[in-house]
């Protein structure tokens, strides 16, 4: 049996490097079928092109065939531009002919939002995988190999573009062959490939990204994504890209509710929780940006810049105002502008002769357009704390050539902030032609440098160097999950939830269940006073708010009163709830309370949450998220991200809490969620440990827990 991934990679190769293309639905009119044929014919003798339409004998100077079976060979690629209800018939013909791949331009599938069209899309995807005729689309505009000048696209904007080391993968065809293509052409930015994936009935963005990781001419992968079919698959591919040093820069639609709705109507994709996407991207090294221009600018900077050996940035400009604004934006992004050494300032002063300002940023006035400028740039870039140089100016060809020569002779990153007209005929075209990373706004430049530094700094860590502390579920864990999941109710009681937590080594309170006052008294003597008394019920989730939790009980008299109050209150306020008695629990004092939880994301699976208790979670939403499984590095970053977690380090005489114990709990909860998800046993939908007490004397304990099954 052929490995499906190998099959997909071979199909993508033939799709992007076809020696022959058949166009089913070709037409002499410049509609979708005509535009696809016209674009394919631009490859001339590099690609054999076969129009397929029974109504014509010849089209655009090429012989036309009545059907695929009449072709003289099995085509590498079939472009399908027919009504939606004929697509399956054409795919079956592709399989019989032995076609290597197909692009379904046709629309009218799941994006219509009807059950029958969604089922038809599922059918063509299933057929593609079973037959081996893997497809891109439907509802896409096709692909382009700019390195070889092969365009298999129905775009109305023609087949123009510059070849370069950036590959573009976009679910939106109109965006790929519209603003991304035109803006790249305006900036002199070249693509290796343009790939529009549409509804992704079969091959998706993750498959094409995986293919591009093997393409030596592609240095950066730029993406425009509306929604993932399989978030965990994308993370796996993104981690591989990270390991190989091939950056993924991405616009992910869906930050707002209107954006999410538009994505669903356009490509029938689920956008998912935006905060979960941010967490997933952080874990696997994806650089998320917000707009077309930033995507192109950051991609170009990463494609044509070495990894900075140090993080300092120096700025040189002809204008003190431009330099100050640029420095201010860099500072807002947390970039470091080191002071110049005394000998560097003196050397600059010798050149400037009392004009401008010998500092970082450097205001060099008219010397930016002089023969002294190369020496000025050398002084600024050769500072030992500087890893990147920013030149902020507008200049002619001779000065632009000076920047180009410096780039050739320096191992450091150079970016240019163009302050002149974007229609300039001198300076700017030369910078574009030689792939100097260009920016037009100080804020965009600062964001680009921040992305460059963060990407290479974080690559010093291995993303997958630590597994969650589990090698699969033990027999004890399986038995406990099986027993409790068979109870037939969607929620567990607190005690039942803690029983499962303890199976994964998560520390919980000492406690006993009791169904009578006498049993509660016996349990309290076993646990040891002082104790906490709680109602034990799978149906009462907010026990404290209902007055069904009593803390600090130090005697049997207090216990008796608390027991009566809890049972009376539970039956009166929750007459339909199942009351299983009370929980007698040890009293834990002196810890810092945090929340640790798990939720189930439709695309990424189990997601881990960490935050501080109380107002920080409910009002400020001061939490950190990661997709399970996490590494120790992920856990430490989660703690660092939560602003309120600074309390854990000790504050105003408060002792520091055991952060190592907290990290261990995060790892174990991640392992629990991952084990249940991967084993498909138990169907954990949601878990809350709230609060988890992180103790100053060492350790941590789950004081309360809620568990919801799917």
Whether residues 359 and 439 share a domain: the answer is: yes
For position 269, what pLDDT does the model report?
39
**Tens digit of pLDDT for each residue in 308-359?**
999 999 999 999 999 999 999 999 999 999 999 999 999 999 999 989 999 9
CB of 654 closer than 8 Å to CB of 679: no
For position 2, what pLDDT does the model report?
42
Whether residues 425 and 534 share a domain: the answer is: no
**Tens digit of pLDDT for each residue in 670-692?**
999 999 999 876 678 899 999 99
pLDDT at 529 over 70: yes
Whether residues 169 and 50 share a domain: the answer is: yes
For position 462, what pLDDT does the model report?
47
Mean pLDDT of 178-199: 96
- Strongest mean pLDDT among 249-263, 290-304, 590-604: 290-304
Write down which residue in 586, 611, 628 finishes a domain.
Answer: 586
For position 5, what pLDDT does the model report?
79
For position 266, what pLDDT does the model report?
35
pLDDT at 710 over 90: no
Q: Does a structural domain hold residue 357?
A: yes
**Tens digit of pLDDT for each residue in 388-429?**
999 999 999 999 999 999 999 999 999 999 999 999 999 999
Look at residues 676, 642, 668, 629 and name the one whose alpha carbon lies nearest to residue 463.
629
Give the CATH number, domain containing residue 61. 3.40.50.261
Q: Does a structural domain hold residue 517?
A: yes
In Å, what is the CA distance from 593 to each residue of 516, 572, 635, 692, 696?
30, 30, 17, 6, 11
Mean pLDDT of 470-492: 88
Give the CATH number, domain containing residue 653. 3.30.470.20
Whether residues 578 and 597 share a domain: the answer is: no
Q: Does a structural domain hold residue 490?
A: no
- With 0-12 / 13-18 / 19 or more C-beta atoms within 10 angstroms meaning exposed / middle / buried, residue 179 is middle
Confidence category of residue 187, pLDDT binned at 50, 70, 90: very high
**Tens digit of pLDDT for each residue in 165-176?**
999 999 999 999
What's the CA angle centered on 612, arms 607 and 614, to 5 degrees?
115
Please, what is the average pLDDT of the chain? 92
For position 214, what pLDDT does the model report?
96
Residue matched to tokens 């076609």: 99
Mean pLDDT of 551-561: 96
Q: Does a structural domain hold residue 497?
A: no
For position 464, what pLDDT does the model report?
47
pLDDT at 525 over 70: yes
pLDDT at 40 over 80: yes
- What's the domain range around 46? 4-301
Whether residues 365 and 423 share a domain: the answer is: yes
**What six digits make up the tokens of 604?**
């990424």
Mean pLDDT of 485-500: 94
**Tens digit of pLDDT for each residue in 252-262?**
997 765 545 44
CA distance 667 to 688: 15
CA distance 392 to 419: 7
Q: Does a structural domain hold residue 484?
A: no
pLDDT at 373 over 80: yes
For position 271, what pLDDT does the model report?
38
Whether residues 547 and 595 share a domain: the answer is: no
- Could you give the number of structural domains in the chain? 4
- For residue 440, how many C-alpha atoms fall within 13 Å in the half-sphere facing its CB? 14
Whether residues 618 and 687 share a domain: the answer is: yes
Whether residues 531 and 450 share a domain: the answer is: no
Q: Does a structural domain hold residue 209?
A: yes
Give the CATH number, domain containing residue 531. 3.30.1490.20
pLDDT at 555 over 70: yes
Share of the chain above pLDDT 90, in %: 85
Write down which residue in 280, 301, 322 finishes a domain.
Answer: 301
pLDDT at 263 over 50: no
For position 257, what pLDDT does the model report?
58
**Tens digit of pLDDT for each residue in 608-661?**
999 997 656 666 678 899 999 999 999 999 999 998 888 888 877 678 899 999
Whether residues 701 and 578 share a domain: the answer is: no
pLDDT at 605 over 60: yes
Confidence category of residue 471, pLDDT binned at 50, 70, 90: low
**Tens digit of pLDDT for each residue in 202-249?**
999 999 999 999 999 999 999 999 999 899 999 999 999 999 999 999
Confidence category of residue 465, pLDDT binned at 50, 70, 90: very low
Residue matched to tokens 């032609």: 433
Write down which residue in 521, 556, 586 finishes a domain.
Answer: 586
pLDDT at 268 over 50: no
Mean pLDDT of 1-17: 85
pLDDT at 180 over 60: yes
Whether residues 93 and 148 share a domain: the answer is: yes
3-state secondary structure 565-608: HHHHHHHHHCCCCCCCCEEEEECCCCEEEEEEEEEEECCCEEEE
Q: Which residues is 686 bridged to in the sheet?
A: 599, 708
Whether residues 268 and 130 share a domain: the answer is: yes
Mean pLDDT of 68-82: 98
Q: Does a structural domain hold residue 347?
A: yes
Q: Does a structural domain hold residue 501?
A: no
For position 663, what pLDDT does the model report?
97
Percentage helix, strand, coil for the chain under 3-state DSSP, each rounded to 5? 40, 20, 35
Whether residues 581 and 603 share a domain: the answer is: no
CB of 388 closer than 8 Å to CB of 415: yes
The pTM score is: 0.92
Mean pLDDT of 110-115: 94
CA distance 499 to 506: 10
pLDDT at 306 over 80: yes
């Amino acid at each position: 049996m052929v490995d499906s991934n190998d099959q997909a990679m071979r199909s993508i190769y033939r799709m992007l490097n076809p020696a022959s293309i058949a166009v089913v639905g070709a037409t002499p009119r410049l509609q979708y079928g005509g535009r696809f044929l016209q674009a394919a014919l631009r490859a001339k003798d590099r690609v054999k092109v076969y129009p397929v339409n029974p109504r014509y004998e010849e089209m655009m100077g090429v012989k036309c065939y009545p059907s695929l079976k009449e072709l003289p060979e099995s085509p590498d690629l079939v472009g399908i531009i027919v009504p939606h209800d004929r697509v399956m018939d054409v795919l079956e013909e592709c399989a019989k002919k032995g076609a290597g791949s197909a692009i379904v331009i046709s629309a009218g599938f799941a994006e219509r939002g009807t059950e029958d069209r969604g089922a038809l899309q599922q059918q063509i995807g299933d057929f593609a995988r079973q037959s081996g005729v893997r497809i891109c689309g439907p509802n896409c505009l096709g692909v382009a190999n700019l390195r070889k000048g092969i365009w298999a696209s129905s775009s109305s904007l023609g087949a123009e573009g510059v070849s370069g080391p950036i590959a573009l993968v976009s679910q939106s065809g109109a965006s790929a062959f519209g603003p991304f293509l035109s803006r790249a052409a305006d900036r002199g930015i070249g693509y290796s490939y343009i790939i529009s994936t549409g509804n992704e009935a079969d091959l998706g963005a993750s498959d094409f990204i995986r293919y591009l990781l093997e393409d030596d001419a592609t240095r950066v992968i730029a993406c425009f994504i509306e929604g993932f079919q399989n978030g965990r698959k994308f993370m796996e591919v993104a981690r591989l890209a990270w390991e190989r040093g091939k950056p993924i820069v991405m616009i992910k639609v869906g930050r707002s509710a209107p954006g999410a709705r538009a994505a669903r109507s356009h490509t029938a994709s689920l956008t998912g929780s935006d905060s979960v996407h941010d967490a997933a991207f952080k874990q696997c090294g994806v650089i998320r940006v917000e707009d077309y221009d930033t995507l192109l600018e950051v991609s170009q900077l990463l494609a044509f810049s070495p990894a900075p050996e140090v993080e300092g940035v120096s700025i040189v400009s002809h204008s003190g105002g431009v330099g100050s604004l640029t420095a201010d934006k860099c500072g807002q992004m947390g970039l470091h502008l080191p002071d110049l050494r005394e000998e560097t300032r003196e050397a600059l002063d010798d050149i400037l002769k009392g004009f401008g300002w010998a500092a970082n940023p450097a205001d060099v006035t008219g010397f930016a357009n002089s023969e002294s400028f190369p020496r000025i740039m050398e002084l600024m870039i050769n500072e030992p704390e500087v890893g990147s140089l920013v030149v902020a100016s507008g200049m002619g060809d001779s000065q632009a050539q000076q920047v180009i020569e410096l780039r050739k002779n320096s191992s450091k990153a150079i970016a240019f902030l163009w302050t002149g007209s974007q229609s300039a005929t001198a300076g700017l075209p030369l910078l574009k032609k030689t792939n100097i990373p260009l920016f037009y706004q100080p804020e965009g430049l600062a964001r680009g440098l921040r992305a460059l530094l963060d990407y290479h700094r974080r690559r010093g860590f291995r993303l997958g160097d630590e597994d969650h502390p589990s090698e699969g579920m033990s027999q004890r864990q399986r038995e406990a999950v099986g027993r409790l999941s068979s109870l037939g109710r969607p929620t567990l009681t607190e005690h039942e939830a803690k029983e499962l937590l303890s199976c994964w080594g998560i520390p919980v309170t000492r406690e006993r269940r009791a169904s009578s006052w006498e049993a509660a008294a016996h349990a309290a003597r076993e646990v040891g006073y002082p104790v906490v008394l709680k109602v034990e019920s799978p149906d009462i989730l907010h026990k404290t708010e209902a007055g069904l939790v009593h803390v600090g009980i130090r005697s049997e008299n207090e216990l008796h009163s608390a027991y009566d109050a809890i049972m009376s209150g539970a039956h009166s306020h929750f007459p339909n709830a199942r009351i299983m008695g009370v929980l007698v629990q040890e009293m834990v004092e002196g810890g810092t309370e945090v929340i640790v939880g798990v939720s189930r994301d439709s695309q990424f699976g189990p997601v881990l949450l960490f935050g501080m208790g109380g107002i920080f979670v409910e009002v400020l939403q001061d939490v950190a998220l990661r997709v399970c499984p996490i590494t120790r590095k992920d856990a430490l970053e989660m703690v660092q991200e939560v602003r309120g977690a600074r309390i854990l380090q000790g504050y105003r005489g408060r002792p520091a809490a055991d952060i190592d114990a907290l990290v261990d709990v995060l790892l174990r909860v991640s392992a629990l969620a991952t084990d249940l998800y991967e084993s498909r046993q138990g169907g954990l939908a949601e878990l809350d440990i709230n609060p988890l007490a992180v103790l100053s004397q060492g350790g941590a304990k789950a004081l309360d827990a809620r568990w919801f099954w799917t």
